Amino acid sequence: MNSEKALHGVKVIELGTFIAVPACTRYLADNGADVIKIEAKSGDPVRFAGTQEGRPDDPYENTTYDLENANKRAMVLNLKSPEGKKILFQLLEKADMFVTNWRPQALQKAGLDYETLHEKFPRLVYGSFTGYGETGPDKDLPGFDFTAFFARGGFMGSLYQKGTVPMNLVPGIGDHTAGLFLSAGLVTALYKAAKTGKGDKVTVNLLHASIFVQGIMLQAAQYPMGKRYPIDRRDSNNPFNCAFETKDGRFLQLSMPPFDQFYPKFMPLIGREDLVGDERYTMDNMTKHNRNAEFHDILSAAMKQKTAAEWSKIFEENDIPFALAQVWDEVLQDKQAWATNVFYSMHYPNGAVRTLVRQPIFLQEQGLPDYKQSPLLGEHSEEILRELGYSEEELKALHEAEVYNTWDDLKGFHNG
């Protein structure tokens, strides 16, 4: 039951678009918070990304939007009008959190910066998400995960195969990572507010999130022994941590960080027991004498002698850490992923059944989160205003002035 969820009774106002902030507040909603998403008449752009992702342009079957916005309520509010601003402040007065990815200068111009809201609502927890942070020369740049997280943060320039081109990117990886960082900070600040009666500001940005998740290698880059990336995979520090092509053209990723410990066990499995005890291929000697590429080629030649299925059976029986490099169609059918509740079957009003992805954090005693379809644009506008005490006469006047809109107003513009 919702009343048993960890964040039951917590009210969250979201002024966010795209992925990171909505993913953050989706986590809060999954755990019982009442999340009210406020949008302009044009709607969050993610509502309309279907065709570029190969999905139907159908507001009633919107898998991407559901991923970020399930379990929320939505209202359309004209924040440029005095009446719309008044309604927002009435919502904030009753809220525990305000979460936004508006840029700092836009928030200040609208009177929604932390200092202003903290003075009005001292218990309010304030979450700010940006591309590059709120200080420094580039704080006002627009930031997306392709740019701030992957490119500026170092992924694209460092981790592709030397002599080729940077990896192909897919949206959401940086946003989802940083969005859950933001949710952790918000819950921490909420706990503090419960103890002290004082809210706080939580800040997360894509650049910092990218640098943090790469922290091991970024720090190692300061030392002269470290290789300068991008590198040829044949020159990787530990060949046992590479992916190798099999006889049938698939790739198996190995992961054996303690190289010397796995070496005598692994080499006989690939038919090279003759190299067990060969001092040339200890980790220390390979590093000192630059034999990494030489040994990589030995592994590569051996791995091409069997299919992925044949190697998988051998490695599973001998407890070797590995995984097949699956494509998305295979991941959608992964039995282990289904068994551990990664996926959810959503039944849409048009009769379609689609596999949707759950967020990756569960509370055991609370049970699996609900997965209610995301709200339509403006679906709950009047419901929320009634909760604030507006009469039917007041609603009519505000509606006629287009201070708020409902889905019935907007569906004709959005293929509804």
Which residues are catalytically annotated? Answer: 175
Specify whether the CB–CB gap between 227 and 235 falls below 8 A: yes
Q: Kindly list the distances between the CA atom of residue 255 and the CA atoms of 182, 191, 206, 221, in Å, as whole numbers in the listed order.
A: 30, 39, 28, 21
Count Cα neighbours of 209 within 13 Å in the Cβ-side half-sphere: 30
391: how many CB neighbours lie within 10 A of its CB?
A: 10
CA atoms of 125 and 190, how far apart (whole Å): 6
Is the bond preceding 230 in cis, omega lying within 30 degrees of 0?
Answer: yes
Specify whether the CB–CB gap between 42 and 66 falls below 8 A: no
CA atoms of 178 and 182, how far apart (whole Å): 6
CA atoms of 349 and 376, how far apart (whole Å): 13
CA atoms of 145 and 175, how far apart (whole Å): 6
386: how many CB neighbours lie within 10 A of its CB?
A: 14
CA atoms of 15 and 110, how far apart (whole Å): 12
267: how many CB neighbours lie within 10 A of its CB?
A: 20
Specify whether the CB–CB gap between 108 and 81 falls below 8 A: no
Written as six digits, the tokens of 168 are 């192909």
Nearest to 106 by CA among 83, 84, 80, 82: 80
User: What value, to the nearest 5°, has the Cα angle with vertex 383 and ends 382 and 388?
Assistant: 90
β-strands 97-100, 11-15: how paired? Answer: parallel
